[in-house]
């Protein structure tokens, strides 16, 4: 039997309604069976359609990759000039990658395994500009070869200068700057505190922001719960209006080691504080300009309108998709761009692309917690390769974050606040009935 949840929604003066929510079917209706009206969010229900199921990848049922790669993620190497407390790559070996001598061979072999032009090519570190002697000739050659591909890069921004910004502009890059605002002390040095680095980031902002080609990317965690605070910090340091800062979020931090565990939502008190912060910033409109918050909420409305069932959902990161490939410059295929080929996360080699097997990943459908989760359509399984205690904590972190976004989406849809969920718990030992938003705080939403 598919899990069904009773959602208690409340408004001012004690107004309360019950909705029924089936996350597996993406079906949301009032208690009498009437579907919720989507017109208030600019949508309407579409005709039913047949959805292809996502492949249930697992170590027992590995997935392959295809030559017609749509998204190519090139791992330059995992070295970085910063040492963040919760880096998703810190637990991986760093020494065998990033040799500039590998570029020529990588480019020479590319036509043997890559079919057509990728829609998007991403260049990843570590800190990618720590590999400047590798990055520059590689990206220039790929731009010549693939003039229509979109180029993307994520950087901490500390190694940028005018020449590199000119180069990024000339090659048509989009760039994300990893920055956690006032919580940068948990990540590493703040480049905005350095006069020269701040000037370079201001130049980048002035050139790229008006074109929609940059964002500041924040990670939320136990010590960094406010996207508004992040945006305010960055704007003040750059000396620009707060509303002009283009922001995205990598959502809530997922733990890959002890550093990540320390900044995770380790208790219900942590989780509820996080939930309240993310929810109220969204319903007040403060975080709706953050791309990833807005897109997650509008994506939820689209799932409702289309009736897209959970069985058709791949993983959040998309790396279970055979058309997405992470590869290092030696041609090793990787679970994702954050992993090293010197570990079990080497899943094959592009010279035998037909033999690549993603046997290090778990589709949400093979995780018990995901199959009984009210926010599955928003979360889409958190990290696809974490296991054991790290997975359990990642699941909890993602649950609190996506519950906040789910509640915000329901508010924008109904102008009512989700105060309680009654239904199957994600795992044994958790309550069946869960309070979400404190009813005493409803006047904030009035």
- Cα separation, 372 vs 4, whole angstroms: 9
Give CA angle at 217 (215, 219), nearest 5°.
Answer: 165
Residue 148: count other Cβ atoms within 10 Å of its Cβ.
Answer: 8
| Beta strand ranges found along 67-189 (DSSP E) | 71-75, 120-124, 150-155, 173-178
- Cα separation, 302 vs 308, whole angstroms: 8
- Owner of token pair 């079919």: 115
- pTM score, whole prediction: 0.95
Residue 440: the pLDDT is 66
Packing angle, helices 227-238 and 195-208, rounded to 10? 100
Q: Are 11 and 422 in contact (CB under 8 A)?
A: no
Q: Which helix (H) or strand (E) holds 170?
A: helix 162-170
Residue 198: count other Cβ atoms within 10 Å of its Cβ.
Answer: 17
Query: Minimal CA–CA distance to 55: which of 384, 375, 416, 313?
Result: 313
Residue 188: the pLDDT is 82
Query: Minimal CA–CA distance to 443: which of 15, 79, 74, 93?
Result: 15
Residue 445: the pLDDT is 47
Contacts of 186 (CB under 8 A, 6+ apart): 84, 85, 86, 180, 221, 223, 224, 263
Residue 186: the pLDDT is 87
Q: Are 242 and 231 in contact (CB under 8 A)?
A: yes
Residue-level pLDDT, tens digit, the chain, 446 residues: 789 999 999 988 778 999 999 999 999 999 999 999 999 999 999 998 999 999 999 999 999 999 999 999 999 999 888 777 666 555 556 555 668 899 999 999 999 999 999 999 999 999 999 999 999 999 999 999 999 999 999 999 999 999 999 999 999 999 999 999 999 988 888 999 999 999 999 999 999 999 999 999 999 999 999 999 999 999 999 999 999 999 999 899 999 999 899 999 999 999 999 999 999 999 999 999 999 999 999 999 999 999 999 999 999 999 999 999 999 999 999 999 999 999 999 999 999 999 999 999 999 999 999 999 999 999 999 999 999 999 999 999 999 999 999 999 999 999 999 999 999 999 988 889 898 998 766 655 44
Q: Are 359 and 365 in contact (CB under 8 A)?
A: no
Phi and psi angles of residue 13, each rounded to the nearest 5 degrees, phi first = 55, 30
């Amino acid at each position: 039997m598919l899990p069904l949840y009773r959602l208690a929604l409340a408004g001012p003066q004690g107004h309360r309604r019950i909705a029924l929510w089936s996350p597996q079917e993406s079906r949301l209706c009032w208690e009498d069976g009437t579907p919720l009206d989507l017109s208030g969010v600019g949508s309407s229900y579409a005709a039913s359609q047949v959805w292809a199921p996502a492949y249930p990848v697992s170590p027992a049922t590995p997935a392959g990759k295809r030559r017609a790669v749509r998204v190519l993620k090139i791992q330059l190497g995992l070295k970085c000039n910063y040492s963040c407390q919760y880096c998703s790559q810190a637990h991986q070996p760093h020494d065998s990658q990033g040799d500039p001598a590998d570029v020529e061979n990588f480019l020479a072999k590319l036509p043997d395994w890559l079919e057509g032009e990728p829609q998007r090519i991403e260049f990843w570190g570590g800190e990618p500009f720590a590999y400047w002697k590798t990055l520059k000739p590689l990206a220039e050659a790929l731009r010549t070869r693939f003039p229509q591909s979109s180029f993307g890069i994520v950087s901490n921004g500390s190694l940028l200068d005018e020449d590199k910004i000119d180069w990024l502009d000339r090659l048509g890059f989009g760039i994300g700057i990893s920055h956690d605002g006032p919580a940068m002390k948990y990540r590493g040095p703040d480049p905005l505190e350095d006069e020269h680095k701040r000037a370079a980031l201001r130049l980048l902002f002035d050139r790229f922001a008006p074109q929609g080609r940059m964002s500041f990317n924040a990670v939320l965690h136990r010590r960094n719960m406010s996207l508004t605070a992040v945006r305010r910090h960055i704007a003040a340091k750059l000396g620009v209006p707060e509303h002009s800062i283009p922001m995205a979020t990598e959502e809530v931090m997922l733990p890959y080691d002890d550093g990540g565990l320390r900044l995770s939502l380790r208790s219900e008190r942590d989780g509820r504080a996080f939930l309240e912060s993310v929810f109220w910033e969204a319903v007040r409109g403060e975080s709706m300009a953050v791309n990833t918050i807005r897109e997650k909420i509008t994506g939820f409305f689209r799932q409702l309108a289309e009736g897209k069932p959970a069985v058709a959902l791949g993983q959040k990161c998309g790396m279970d998709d055979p058309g997405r490939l992470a590869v290092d410059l030696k041609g090793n295929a990787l679970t994702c761009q954050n992993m090293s080929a010197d570990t079990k996360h080497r899943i094959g080699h592009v010279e035998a692309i037909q033999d690549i097997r993603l046997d290090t990943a778990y589709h949400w459908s093979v995780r018990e917690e995901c199959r009984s989760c009210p926010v599955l359509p928003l979360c889409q399984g958190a990290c696809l390769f974490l296991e054991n205690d790290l997975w359990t904590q990642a699941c909890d972190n993602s649950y609190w974050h996506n519950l906040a976004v789910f509640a915000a989406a329901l508010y924008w849809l109904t102008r009512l606040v989700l105060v309680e969920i009654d239904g199957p718990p994600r795992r044994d030992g958790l309550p069946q009935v869960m309070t979400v938003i404190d009813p005493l705080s409803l006047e904030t939403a009035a």
